[in-house]
Amino acid sequence: MMISQEAKTNLKKNRMDWILFTTAALILLVGTLAIVSSTGQLPSYSRLVRTHLIALPLSGLMFLLGWSLNYQVYQDNWKVLYGIVLASLVAVLVVGVVDKGSKSWFRLPFFSVQPSELCRIALILVMARFIDVHSSRMGEPLTVLKAFGLAAPVFYLILKQPDFSGVATTFPVIIGMLYCGGASLFHLLVIVGFGFIVAIFPVLWTFFSLNPNLGESYAVVRLFQSMAHMGWPAVGFCVAVALLAWGGYWLANRLRANLPSIYFAGAAVVIITGFMAGVWVQSQMKQYQRKRFEVFVAPQADPRGAGYNILQAQIAMGSGGLIGKGLFSGTQVRLGFVPERHTDFILAVVGEEMGFLGCAGVLGLYLLMLWRLVMAAQVARDQYGYLICCGFFTMFSVYMLINFGMAVGIVPVAGIPLPLVSYGGSNMVATLWAIGIAESIYARRVALV
């Protein structure tokens, strides 16, 4: 395609998507105001603000690095990038420090670094390269399994910290990238079904444990406990699933449905392996993580204990009304009624001080940022750039949905920051690096001279 000299000149002048840049800057401004307000009454106010101010220029440098560097360099050096990811996750398990029950941090003189935040971006870059190289075979189930095999060591090392939230936010990103790369929807639905079974086991355990008045709850809990030890009840469950799958296949043949046997065998394998993985996850969960499921299942059951955080956050958001109480004037937040207000429940600060319009504004800015990522994907000069934007789009979508869902109580509290809004230097650096890479893809959408 021939490009006119005038078009080339215009392209040179538009090496940055200013809408994406301005949107990210506005979200960051709102987040900074919310962090300063929410930490004002904390004993660690000076340390938190200092760390945030240190992270701001570092994040700016990462943005400039991501934007100025040709994004294709990550494709050429994916092995080095992947090795750094694994090495950093192993190192944090050896020499990292424990904070809030997870060994996820490197302690440096003036601040701490959480490597999993940067590793999440790096994994997207590596996964995009894999999908790009294997694009002609993405319809094959073996290729999809190889993609998850590439991500499996990263997931395992993050789970060892343990950081279940990190895996919960990254798993959908891999699914989204595979779908955009041409993977079969059926194969992805099988994997999503596996993830659903893994996640639903702790929820069911918690539900029956918190509802002893239900007629058979005690028996169900006892059955779950027996299964958790992988004894005869667990073996019986696996055998029953296998028999049901065989019976379904036999019945389908009798009815001449002509369904392939792989469907029934695959369903049985997904259910059995998902159950076993769910049992393992349940056994590895920390007490504070169990409390999060309790809050999700029954927040009113313990309003002064496990359910306190989410109830107070909802009260704070509701008290803001339409336009809020004004910056630095939130009573629920500044008087300390909302725990973790600068991290998990930062939206409670926005809702109380900026009101419904403030929350709607943040949501609108996020949707605008997602739209610009879609536009960057559409104009990317190659599939690699397209897949990177797809990964970033899915990642920010998951962050947004979980945080807004937590604020209104329809999603379990997961300890996941809202990028550019919640306090967290590592997440801010990783987020602006990702936006910088998206800007690099946009800048190189056609050959510039």
Mean pLDDT lowest for which of 124-133, 176-185, 404-413? 404-413
Cα distance between residue 205 and residue 201, in whole Å: 6
Query: Mean pLDDT of all residues in the chain?
Result: 79
Cα distance between residue 229 and residue 283, in whole Å: 9
pLDDT value for 1: 40
Query: Which of 220-234, 258-272, 343-357 is the most confident on average?
Result: 343-357
pLDDT value for 300: 53
Cα distance between residue 195 and residue 192, in whole Å: 5
**3-class state of residue 195 by DSSP:** helix
What does the pLDDT average to over 81-110?
83
Residues 6 or more apart whose Cβ sits within 8 Å of residue 73: none
pLDDT value for 3: 47
Residues 6 or more apart whose Cβ sits within 8 Å of residue 336: 41
More confident of the two residues 360 and 272: 360
Which amino acid is it at 238? C
Domain ranges of the chain: 5-443
Burial label for 415, CB within 10 Å (0-12, 13-18, 19+), is buried
pLDDT value for 28: 93
Residue 317 has pLDDT above 80, yes or no: no
Mean pLDDT lowest for which of 108-112, 175-179, 191-195? 108-112
Residue 13 has pLDDT above 60, yes or no: no
More confident of the two residues 194 and 68: 68
More confident of the two residues 152 and 186: 152
Residue 297 has pLDDT above 80, yes or no: no
pLDDT tier at 82 (50, 70, 90 boundaries)? Answer: very high
pLDDT value for 71: 92
Residues 6 or more apart whose Cβ sits within 8 Å of residue 243: none
pLDDT value for 9: 46
